[in-house]
Structure 1
Amino acid sequence: MSAKGCHHLQGFKKDHKNLESLKWIHAVFVVANTHSSATLKTKICNSYCRTCKKRGPFLHACLECVFLGCHKHIREHMKNQKHTISMDLTYGQIHCNSCYDYVYDAEIDEITMDNKMKCGKFKKRLFEWTSWDATEEERDLLTHRTKKICITPESTIGLRGLWNLGNTCFMNCIIQALMHTPLLRDYFLTKKHKCNEIPGTCLACTVSKLFQGTISASTATATAALDVLHRHCYDTMPKNAIAAEKKDKCPCIIDQIFTGCLQSDVVCQKCKGVSTTFDPILDFSLDLGPVPLDGRQPCSLHDCLERFTRAEDLEDEKILCSNCGSHQVSTKQFTMKTLPIVVSFHLKRFQHLKNEIEKKISTLITFPEMLDMTPFMSRTKHECPIPSDNRYSLFAVINHIGNSMSAGHYIAFVRQQHNSWYKCDDHVITRANLKEVLDSEGYLLFYHKHVLRYE
């Protein structure tokens, strides 16, 4: 199976020099090797629009001359100079100005893939399409198994209701959120989990069967918590796979997808010395109560994150400063050192008051479909002038209906395919729309990284 671009691109490829130029531009600007100082310097010094001098948005390179331009000025250049083919310098996609569209070509894909394999990391869109060249074994399987499943925008493949077995609505919602986590779903559907434990004792195997069951429409039940699933995934991995990984990085799929690194900076108010520690983080628990100083309550997810990462005075205790050697008043601030592929937010809507009285905070907290985590990242003096893409796309929301944790019901909204949303109320699945999702109260929010960086 192969794919060819438009006839304009086919004419462009006939000149071998054009392909060499394309390969060089892709190698330097799209997948620049961060270990090569010369290549990185070339990229940093030249990654700007030649007209407005800005570094974007959507910087492109004309492949018929040496012009680089932002989204607006590359179009003007191609029209004025009567040039046709350009390349997006973020993902390496080819744009044909005569067709007014991006085009895919298998031959160019081989050239760019060769560059990607030689570099340390590269970016890829979450829902990017590439061709598939089947192996002889796969062709043989396709020949004898001719049943096809057509996935259309109206398709409900992968949508399965879950029966409430008695106060299991919250567990059902968590399962639905995990089932619609793209990379986790792909991992289990491709049967990447290889168990070396006694059959029937591995939670990861049970979850794998659950994923398979949602596609094949067979009956399946399971329970899953990330910490338990993490232990089972790690404990049942082949030992050679564990040994091959870096010692400071857990190789299990749960850590690879859900674990980020939280940076904590404690600053001595006397000498300004900074003590920094790093801790793994699986989710963010965000306070919704009023801020002690001004009494203002957060009204958006962005407000909650600003509050979470705001410097806080540690007035109740004096901390021994390792820099000046004395106990001093300090400030503490959290930021994100590294972000996980999936970031989850827990809005702390339940307060436990005196006499075991429980109160629910029903304050409206707005949350976006697309979230940029850049303002909450740790920054260093040696930070690269070309920022990373820290955008996240919403794919699941869990809501609590009721006035207290002990009395109420949980439902989930999940994104199916690109922009199709569904409401999961135990065994009842109904279509929803984005407005309905964003207008909901919000208790647990799940976001998936919009651009993936592969190693």
Structure 2
Amino acid sequence: MLRPRPRASRAISTRSTRPPSLGSARPTAPPSSSIGDGDCCIAHRVFSGILRSDVTCTNCGFSSTTFEPCMDISLDLDPGHNNCLGVANPKPHVRNGERSAAGMSSKVSTLMRCLERFTRAERLDAEQKYFCERCKERQESLKQMSIRRLPLVSCFHIKRFEHSTVKKMSRKVDHSLQFPFSLDMTPYLSSSILRSRYGNRIFPSEACDSEAVSELPSEFEIFAVITHSGKLDAGHYVTYLRLNNQWYRCDDAWVTRVDEHTVRSSQAYMLFYVQKTLYYKACERGAAV
């Protein structure tokens, strides 16, 4: 099963803002038509969402906001899991053929932790200095991503293939990823991020704008997991599909039933979550049939 490729990223609309404490005008959201037509095809109607990117000057607090359409979200595993830069992972202690909890915990990440890191403010390095329109020169800055509008189906791509330009090598990341069957996306929405950043000084204004908050429910249920086995240059993809709370393993032409434990312990490469209301409606229709 191939992952749909998102369109080339492009800045759709830019607004210059700064925290209310500096006396700036709050940004106004661009019309939905300027962000991209999400109804051009069935794939966009199902998978298309909108990301918000805020780049803030650390010198004066001036910010630039852009909105970009997305078909999926690519997530890094924990930084400590990346080994291409030469950071050695501690070897797990083995006793009676079983690995210690300390050794296992160093190689296990969670989907929530990946999403938290995706929406966390990060300092851009010196080579990525942002031209501040207020300072009229390039300055160090902070960049923060958030989800402005959720799609009907949220697709998460786990970055299991890493490349190092320094060592000129590539490798596959085989560490485990724990993921929930029910997922609340509220903490990762732009409205929540802005509330956390500025408090009630900015959130009430944003809440009044129907385009500034997600128009869809934020609670999702998992319904499909794609896994990859093998190495970087050769491997095999298998899909686990959830139907009426029963999981099925789709391996080429073979479809077999599996239990939840098999799915949870699989090496997830892509995760698909559908709105909870739509999932249970589908279950009800399936039960009626």
2:267 counterpart of 1:431: no
SS in 2 for 1:443: strand
Deviation at 1:425, TM superposition (A): 0.9
Task: Within 5 Å, give how 1:225-240 maps onto structure 2.
Answer: 225=4
Q: How far, CA to CA, are the matches of 1:346 and 1:250 in structure 2?
A: 20
Q: How far, CA to CA, are the matches of 2:38 and 2:113 in structure 1?
A: 32
Report the counterpart of residue 393 of structure 1 in structure 2.
Answer: 221
Deviation at 1:301, TM superposition (A): 0.5
Deviation at 1:348, TM superposition (A): 0.8
- Is contact 2:78-2:114 (8 Å) kept? no
- Of the three residues 48, 61, 66, the one matched with 1:277 is 66
Question: Which of structures 1 and 2 has the bigger CA Rg?
Answer: 1
Q: CA RMSD of the aligned region, Å? A: 3.0
Cα deviation 1:393-435 (Å, max 9, x = unaligned) = 1010011112x1322211110012x211100111111001222
Amino acid at match of 1:368: P
Task: Within 5 Å, give how 1:39-438 maps onto structure 2.
Answer: 170-171=1-2, 225=4, 248-251=36-39, 252-290=41-79, 299-316=109-126, 317-353=128-164, 357-379=169-191, 380-384=203-207, 389-402=217-230, 404-416=231-243, 418-438=244-264
Cα deviation 1:232-288 (Å, max 9, x = unaligned) = xxxxxxxxxxxxx95753422221111110000001111111110000011111112
Cα deviation 1:303-326 (Å, max 9, x = unaligned) = 111111110101323211123323
Cα deviation 1:81-133 (Å, max 9, x = unaligned) = xxxxxxxxxxxxxxxxxxxxxxxxxxxxxxxxxxxxxxxxxxxxxxxxxxxxx
Highest RCO, 1 vs 2 (Cα 8 Å, sep ≥ 6): 2
Q: How far, CA to CA, are the matches of 1:427 and 1:269 in structure 2?
A: 55
CA spacing shift, 1:440–1:313, aligned 2, 3 Å: same
Q: How far, CA to CA, are the matches of 1:277 and 1:326 in structure 2?
A: 20
How many positions carry a matched residue from both structures?
212
Q: Unaligned stretches of 5+ in structure 2?
A: 8-31, 83-88, 90-105, 192-202, 279-289
More helix by share: 1
CA spacing shift, 1:281–1:271, aligned 2, 3 Å: same
Deviation at 1:371, TM superposition (A): 0.7
Q: How far, CA to CA, are the matches of 1:434 and 1:348 in structure 2?
A: 23
- Is contact 1:286-1:305 (8 Å) kept? yes
Cα deviation 1:309-356 (Å, max 9, x = unaligned) = 110101323211123323211100000000111111111111234676
- TM-score, normalised to structure 1, is 0.43
CA spacing shift, 1:280–1:357, aligned 2, 3 Å: same
- Is contact 1:287-1:347 (8 Å) kept? yes
Percentage identity across paired residues of the two chains: 40
Report the counterpart of residue 115 of structure 1 in structure 2.
Answer: none
- Is contact 1:263-1:337 (8 Å) kept? yes
Q: How far, CA to CA, are the matches of 1:297 and 1:263 in structure 2?
A: 30
- Is contact 1:263-1:276 (8 Å) kept? yes
More strand by share: 2
Report the counterpart of residue 85 of structure 2 in structure 1.
Answer: none
